[in-house]
Structure 1
Amino acid sequence: MIISQTLEEKVKQQIETVYDPEIDTINIVDLGMLGNVSILAKKVTVELLPTFLGCPALGIIKENVIKAISELNEVEEVVVNYINTPPWTSASITEKGREALKQFGIAPPPIQLESDGSWQVDCPYCGSPYNTLENIFGPSACRSLLYCKECKNPFEAMKPISIL
């Protein structure tokens, strides 16, 4: 029996080939950026959730999504829009995505904040919870710099974003 994929499945599969330009171990689906896909005839409209407004990678991601979907013969037009509702949160990152961040040397954000609003992450290299926040401002708006007291490595952590 031959099982063929629907166009929507093919489109989503193509979107999974688009990786974050700054973190090449995680695709935008596992990063939790895919909002909705709608198809009308040969036109595909994709809604993406930006991780941070003003992120310089958003334009590149949009272009890469258009390019990936345009490779499908069944598609003649691709429109990509960024939406703010629902907002992206740290909880949007899949388990696979959290592992991909660790492989890149970035601690994934905690799933929940502490009751006082603080947050704690484990070192992506040794797994130790014993680390200090060196600078809330990392190399990009979505990351902070930390230092592991156990393995003595500096590392980055994704900043937690949640809806209160």
Structure 2
Amino acid sequence: MMQIAGFEFADGARFQTGAAGDANLVGQHLELLRQQCKGELTPKDVVDDARNPNSPLHCYFEWDDSAAAEHYRLSQARGLIRAVVAIYTQPDQPAQRMKAYVHIPEPAAPHYRETSQAMSQKKTRDMVLQRAWREFQDWRRRYKDLKEFAAVFEAADDVAKKLPKKGGA
């Protein structure tokens, strides 16, 4: 049986401002909660524990209800935007379903654009493709040990050769 030797935060993990960054402490505490909860850990268990100001998880949450509600609504809005699918038509071709909007991670003003518009401009197309590639690589790291996906990973390596390089090179 495998045992946990320690904990780290995943690459790219983001937390609210002021959150302490001790992944081992957080991981050990989550593991303790999981054991106390008969081996099953739920987000509700984590939030309930984190309500205690002495919990090592406390600083990872927004406790101002007004701010938390606004953050939640923004999260819901992002989910709503991502959920919309547009049905595109062209003469003499079958209708095509596609995400209506894609995220454009411009540093000063991240936003969403209509997909065909974003993909028709080099700068935003490159941003969308780079983000999609990063997300795929994250998925790949999570499932790299599953032999069943080896062919997918090989095909992805071929696709990578055709993607725009960061910085437009």
| Superposition TM-score, scaled by structure 2 size | 0.26
| Superposition TM-score, scaled by structure 1 size | 0.27
Indicate the structure with greater helix content: 2
Larger radius of gyration: 2
